[in-house]
Structure 1
Amino acid sequence: MGGICDGRVVIVTGAGRGIGREHALEFARQGAQVVVNDLGAGREGAGRSGGPALEAVEEIRALGGQAVANNDDVADWDGAARLVKMALSAYGRLDVLVNNAGFVRDRMLVSMTEQEWDEVIRVHLKGHFLPLRHAAAHWRERSKAGEPVNARVINTSSGAGLLGSVGQGNYAAAKAGIVALTQVAAAELGRYGVTVNAIAPAARTRMTEEVFAATMAKPGSGFDAMDPANVAPLVAWLGSAESAHVTGRVFEVEGGVISLADGWRHGPRIDKGARWEPAEVGDAVAGLLAEAAEPEPVYGASSP
């Protein structure tokens, strides 16, 4: 097998099912050696099984590719360290980290428990930080030793993280944090030869099957816009040597559509040149709002 990632070593977290599995398969098709990480948990994080990761590895090997399975918890410091070490032990190097693992605990804010908040923040946000932290330390060490580094990190945010989503306050907060983490990591790691980007995919998975259940391929078209395999080509390209000029960006991808998400920017401003009086602020804010574009609506919010 060979393609745009020929010879590169890739870690994909949460790669036993859904979008992550399609990433792993596509990287293998493009010539990469893949570490398939998956804890084997259920949709809401319960349980643990080595089956999903092994099944993905077997599928890759059946295609003629190379892969190994890893069942470490990416939100655990030692587990994330072992994951990176496995790539180095199995294949002697690491070129790409795709952070994808996650689950949901959907609940309206007034009903959400502390545990539901903590668990989602842990697996998504901490589960992105820890593999990134250990991989980045490895790449920095290589760079400082004078070795050439041409590494990639692709993080997984969501439309919920970009715009918010009713009933998903914990998930949206975690995914928004991943965007900020991506931007900081891109700024910090560029000096070591590492690019860091994020995707916000829309596809039918265990986490979204209820939302997208009715969105199937149009009769006769042969194209299912919600197939998770549609996300993988962008991620494979971002993991390739060809994407060295792209970093700190967030891409939305759905079906055959790839778009660049345009995040927070400095907007209209008023400078009084002195401290504001509270009574003056209302008119100032009214002026700023009149100049600014209307914000995108939160997913699931009712129209005003």
Structure 2
Amino acid sequence: MGLCEGRVVIVTGGGRGLGRAHALAFAAEGARVVVNDLGVGLDGAASGESPAGRVVEEIRAAGGEAVAHGGDIATGEGAASLIATALDTYGRLDTLVNNAGFLRDRMLVNLGEDDWDAVMRVHLKGHFLPLRHAVAHWRAEAKAGREVSARIVNTTSGAGLSGSVGQGNYAAAKAGIVGLTLVAAAETGRYGVQVNAIAPAARTRMTEQVFAGLEGVPEDVSPLVVWLGSAASAGVTGRVFEAEGGRITVMEGWRPGPTADKGGRWTPAEAGEAASRLLAEAEEPGAVYGT
């Protein structure tokens, strides 16, 4: 019996890189997998390929069960059809791994509005819409009195946690995914849903140009994703993990640091003096990638 025996798992962006590794790892642990991928290039442009189908073939060749989905999950119709594919094919849905995304890197002064919008769309809408449709299903199940042990694993990035020079759009989108994860975890626990995020670091076609020094591979990240997507992770929700190679880190996020309270309104000069004192007591922020 694998860790995910009997579970039905959706992986978006599952045709290549991290998504492919996740899909294969879930299947190896007994899950039936819906592999979603539009088959686009690194910048989101259509490529005419069908990588989801190839991953499905790999899973079936190894004795597993999988089905491909080629819809655009950053649209309401595509996200709804993704959830419907799992339910129509396998009769249930247990885990959603939001992984789809692409890059359009530019320094801020050269970053076009279209490039900003495209990256926000695929990462933020591409997380929100599948999550929304999956949670609607699980809420209905819970309200009907059926037990729900559902999992959502979102994909943020070190760029979203620390910033990354030349990736203002991507960093902002990935930081937004952290906020979405925290809200979703707080709102959906009552329905039996756990929501966490990973910040993976691995050599993929997306990172080999920007972070050439990365040595980990996607398969190093997938074991944590599989565990988070399984029933074995009961009680773990609203967390963000970094994963690179053999290293796993629980990120602790924004916490209140040194504080000063005058009990009334500051003057600008007083506020500056107080802020300077507090900064002297505070920890230095981490370095931004690329600096």
Tell me, yes or no, whether TM beats 0.5. Answer: yes
Quote the residue 1:172 is aligned against. 171
**Which structure 2 segments of 5+ residues have no match?**
none
Tell me the alpha carbon deviations over residues 151-207 of structure 1, each in whole angstroms, 9 at most, x when there is no partner: 000000000000000000000000000000000000000000000000000001111
Aligned residue identity for 2:50: G
Q: Which residue of 1 aligns with 2:65?
A: 66
Could you tell me how far apart the structure 1 residues matched to 2:57 and 2:245 are? 27
Match of 1:260 in 2: 250
User: Partners of 1:90 and 1:49 in 2: how far apart?
Assistant: 25
Counterpart secondary structure, 2:15: coil
Query: Partners in 1 of 2:213 and 2:246 — Cα distance?
Result: 18
Give the partner amino acid of 2:137.
H
Q: Who is 1:94 aligned against?
A: 93
Structure 1 unaligned runs (5+)? 216-224
TM alignment of 1:161-200, pairs within 5 A:
161-200=160-199
Q: CA deviation at 1:211?
A: 3.7
Shift of 1:282: 1.3
| Alignment-derived partner of residue 55 in structure 1 | 54
Residue number among 255, 263, 280 corresponding to 1:273 in the alignment? 263
The residue matched to 2:9 in structure 1 has which SS? strand
TM (norm. structure 2) is 0.98
What is the count of residue pairs matched by the alignment?
A: 291
What CA distance in whole angstroms lies between the structure 1 residues aligned with 2:156 and 2:55?
23
4+ runs of 1 displaced by more than 4 Å? 212-215
Which amino acid in 1 is paired with 2:261?
D
Cα RMSD for the two superposed structures: 1.0
Cα distance, 1:16 vs. partner?
Answer: 0.3
Please tell me whether residue 229 in structure 1 is matched to residue 219 in structure 2: yes
Q: Deviation of residue 49 (structure 1)?
A: 3.6
Query: 1:206-217 counterparts in 2 under 5 A?
Result: 206-213=205-212, 215=214
- TM-fit CA distance, 1:48: 4.6
**1:203–1:212 contact (8 Å) kept in structure 2:** no
**Partner Cα separation in structure 2 for residue 256 and residue 77 of structure 1:** 37
Deviation at 1:214, TM superposition (A): 5.4
Residue identity over aligned pairs, in percent, reads 68
Give the match for residue 247 of structure 1.
Answer: 237
The residue number in structure 2 matching 1:155 is 154
Aligned equivalents of 2:288 and 2:269: distance in 1? Answer: 31
SS in 2 for 1:209: coil
TM-aligned CA deviation for residue 50 of structure 1: 5.3
Q: Report the residue type matching 1:24 in the other structure.
A: A
Equivalent-residue separation in structure 2 for 1:49 and 1:201 (angstroms) = 27
TM value normalised by structure 1: 0.94
> Are the equivalent residues in 2 in contact too, given 1:50–1:71 (CA < 8 A)?
no
Offset from partner CA, 1:202-226 (integer Å, 9 cap, x none): 00111111245455xxxxxxxxx42
- In the alignment, is the contact (CA less than 8 A) between 1:155 and 1:178 conserved in 2? yes
Match in the other structure for 1:105: 104
1: CA distance, partners of 2:265 / 2:258: 18
2:209 alignment partner, SS class: helix
**2:282 aligns to what?**
292
Partner SS state of residue 199, structure 2? strand
Report the counterpart of residue 222 of structure 1 in structure 2.
none
Contact residue 269 and residue 288 of structure 1 kept, 8 A: yes
Structure 1 Cα separation of the partners of residues 6 and 138 of structure 2: 17
Match of 1:219 in 2: none
Amino acid at match of 1:240: S
Shift of 1:120: 0.2
Question: SS at 2:109's partner residue?
Answer: coil
